[in-house]
Structure 1
Amino acid sequence: MRKIALEEHFVTEELAGYGAATATIAQPEVWREASRRLLDLTGERLEEMDRSGVDVAVLSLNSPGIQAETRPELAARAAVRVNDFLAEVIAAHPTRFAGFAALPLQDPLAASKELDRAVTELGLKGALVNAHTHGVYLDDPSLRVVWEAAERLDVPLYLHPGNGFDAGHVLSGHPELIGPMWSWGTDTSTHALRLIFGGVFDDFPNAKLLLGHMGEGLPYVLWRLDSRWDFHNHQGIELRRGKPSEYLRQNLFITTSGVCSDPPLICALSALGADHVLFGTDYPFEDMTTATEFLDSAAISEADRRSIAHVNAETLLHIAPAADDSQ
């Protein structure tokens, strides 16, 4: 069965230094190996894709990417360079790779223009955003121009975790909770909820948000969100669709990246629908073969397996089906 994998990370020598803060979270030897693999796009990566059965990898710049840059003008130039580089890699291997653009969100207008260029001229499939940009989240009014471009181009924004702007006191004394094991997930799910209550999907009802890691926990709390929304003092906030879950079911798409377990997958399918779940491996931070074997053996229907493996990605990202689309 054809497999298209999202959330497949890479980095360039120029931008590798931006990941220094993330490096402190990982065990040194693990980070060294991941860093080596991040820099390799067409050697070991293609070999691993062949071994594990990944047909297409949708590549994206590793966290925090150019969002770590404090100078907007440098971020804008870096985005052009890395997106051009990614497009060249894809052009050399057009049947094996697709890509998400990196955006200079420090300058919203430049980010909007770069998304347009990346999609219309370079053929990239949307953009991946690594958490906040110096404390600015995607619901900020200044970033409406980016959402306008994404909706007009009919491409998703993939919201990927990164180091939080700050750390809650509840995490103090427990550094093991800071990072991808826990705090990144709660930060990212909260960021996604800001988009709902910040009116992004009311302003852009056809915008598409992608979350990895089986939706960062959101598929499990739809009923609770609706129930407590009815309970809460809304503080003047109105939702045109009435319930938070309506936005998650319509605008949210998730990937299986980094979560190879049947129960959360079954819950996500039930909560969001089989057409909103896509495949991902989280390479090189997770094992590619573990991810493909999980999808192959998960206790789901063959129709849902096919949708997750490649059909949903072909639809959402406008990737042409394989010549033989019978699998």
Structure 2
Amino acid sequence: MGYVALEEAFAIPELAARQPPTEMRIRAKQEYAGLWAERLADFERYRIPDMDEHGIDIQVLSLSVPGIQADTDPANAVENAVFANDYLAEVITRFPDRFRGFAALPLQDPDAAVRELQRCVTDLGFVGAFVNDHTDGRYLDDPVHDELWGALEELAVPLYLHPGSIPVDDWAVLQGRPELYGASWSWQAETGGHAMRLVYGGVFDRHPAATLILGHLGEFLPFQRSRFDSRYRTLQVQTPLELPPSAYFGRNIVITTTGVFAPEAIQAAVLNIGPDAVLFSVDYPYEDTAAAVAAVADADLPEPVKQQIFHENARRLLRLHQ
């Protein structure tokens, strides 16, 4: 049985005309920028042959950065989310054996975001939701999103928390070193901090059945679990947690291999968070599919664990067998 890849991007050229212009802070080489633009909007010419060549049965598609988080007007965000999700649903209808979808959510309007999640899962058959970090500076531990977490529990679908929203501040450590912005470093720190807000904010105590997916080996948070616990014991916290911080990893937080193609790092992630909580991803078209597959295949892990990572965990979490 072939692999399932969870963090695979697509773009809709028409969507950009519907949204405010955004500053391109990542200065990619032109050869890569052109390649990405061509492949993001494609589903048949490049994408499926790439999947076939590397043994990938299913890509779970999500709207590329910054997605709906680029919208500043709540009404426009709602309209654009519906537009993007309907577009994706049509693609999945054309290729039902190859693609699944994560819903783009208009978190600018929390009530509308809940309704759109319910529509996408119930009516369109999507397998979860995908959010690019904060929305206009508001994070998912904000009480206005409590209903969203409840809906995720009720629908039994995960939320994939991804980097890439428009920055709300300019870190001094980035000044003069634009190379540090984005996937090179800053996105991991930003998104990892967002995830820890959810832990320390008690989101998973109030919603114990909720599942959060983090890419890039969990934004490297699993490797800090022991330190989270040792420091938590010394802190005066606003609201005590029901469990040590480390316990939410594997129970509520699962991770993907996206963009980290070092076999030894994947092996260490399995040792840290457990084989049930690590899932395969490529980050197509931004990363190389062959390298993503090889990183898992070459890890010093038992073959049954590799199969869990490659597809079994995703099929269970997303109920792809149904």
The interval holding the TM-score normalised by the smaller chain is: over 0.9
Write the distance in 2 (CA, Å) between the matches of 1:34 and 1:279. Answer: 21
Q: Which stretch has the larger CA shift, 171-180 or 272-281?
A: 171-180
Deviations 1:89-120 (A, max 9, x none): 11111111111010000000000000000001
Instruction: Give yes or no for the alignment of 1:254 onto 2:255.
Output: yes
Write the distance in 2 (CA, Å) between the matches of 1:23 and 1:172. Answer: 12
Deviations 1:221-270 (A, max 9, x none): 00000000111222x321012x1001123101111011111222112111
Deviations 1:25-63 (A, max 9, x none): 322332222111111122210111111221110000001
Q: Which residue of 2 aligns with 1:176?
A: 179
The secondary structure found in structure 2 opposite 1:292 is helix
Deviations 1:248-300 (A, max 9, x none): 23101111011111222112111111110100000111011111222222221
The secondary structure found in structure 2 opposite 1:285 is coil
Show structure 1 runs of 5+ residues with no match: 322-327
Write the distance in 1 (CA, Å) between the matches of 2:147 and 2:204. Answer: 13
The secondary structure found in structure 2 opposite 1:253 is strand
Write the distance in 2 (CA, Å) between the matches of 1:99 and 1:297. Answer: 29
Q: Which residue of 1 aligns with 2:148?
A: 146
Write the distance in 2 (CA, Å) between the matches of 1:111 and 1:9. Answer: 20
Q: What is the correspondence of 1:75-114 to structure 2 with a 5 Å cutoff?
A: 75-114=77-116
The secondary structure found in structure 1 opposite 2:127 is coil
The secondary structure found in structure 2 opposite 1:55 is strand
Instruction: Give yes or no for the alignment of 1:29 onto 2:31.
Output: yes
Show structure 2 runs of 5+ residues with no match: none
Q: What is the correspondence of 1:116-155 to structure 2 with a 5 Å cutoff?
A: 116-155=118-157
Write the distance in 1 (CA, Å) between the matches of 2:149 and 2:27. Answer: 31
Q: 2:202 aligns with which of 191, 199, 202?
A: 199
- Please give the TM-score of this superposition, normalised by the length of structure 2: 0.95
The secondary structure found in structure 2 opposite 1:42 is coil
Q: Which residue of 1 aligns with 2:9?
A: 9
Write the distance in 1 (CA, Å) between the matches of 2:8 and 2:16. Answer: 16
Write the distance in 1 (CA, Å) between the matches of 2:215 and 2:126. Answer: 19
Q: Which stretch has the larger CA shift, 35-44 or 105-114?
A: 35-44
Q: Is the 8 A contact 2:134 2:140 kept in 1?
A: yes
Q: CA shift at 1:132, angstroms?
A: 0.8
Percent sequence identity is 47
Write the distance in 1 (CA, Å) between the matches of 2:15 and 2:184. Answer: 24
Q: Which residue of 2 aligns with 1:325?
A: none
Cα–Cα, structure 1 residues 60 and 161, in superposed 2: closer, same or farther, change >3 Å? same
Give the counterpart letter for 2:126 in structure 1: L
Write the distance in 2 (CA, Å) between the matches of 1:302 and 1:109. Answer: 44
After superposing on structure 2, the runs of 4+ consecutive aligned residues of structure 1 that deviate more than 3 Å are 16-20, 22-25
Task: Count how many residue pairs are aligned between Structure 1 and Structure 2.
Answer: 319
Write the distance in 2 (CA, Å) between the matches of 1:21 and 1:150. Answer: 32
Q: Which residue of 2 aligns with 1:292?
A: 293
Write the distance in 2 (CA, Å) between the matches of 1:268 and 1:24. Answer: 28
Write the distance in 2 (CA, Å) between the matches of 1:128 and 1:114. Answer: 12
* Structural RMSD (CA): 1.5
Q: What is the correspondence of 1:66-77 to structure 2 with a 5 Å cutoff?
A: 66-77=68-79
Deviations 1:180-220 (A, max 9, x none): 10000000100000001111111101100000111101110
Write the distance in 2 (CA, Å) between the matches of 1:212 and 1:174. Answer: 24
Q: Is the 8 A contact 2:25 2:181 kept in 1?
A: no
Deviations 1:116-135 (A, max 9, x none): 00001000000010011110
- Please give the TM-score of this superposition, normalised by the length of structure 1: 0.94
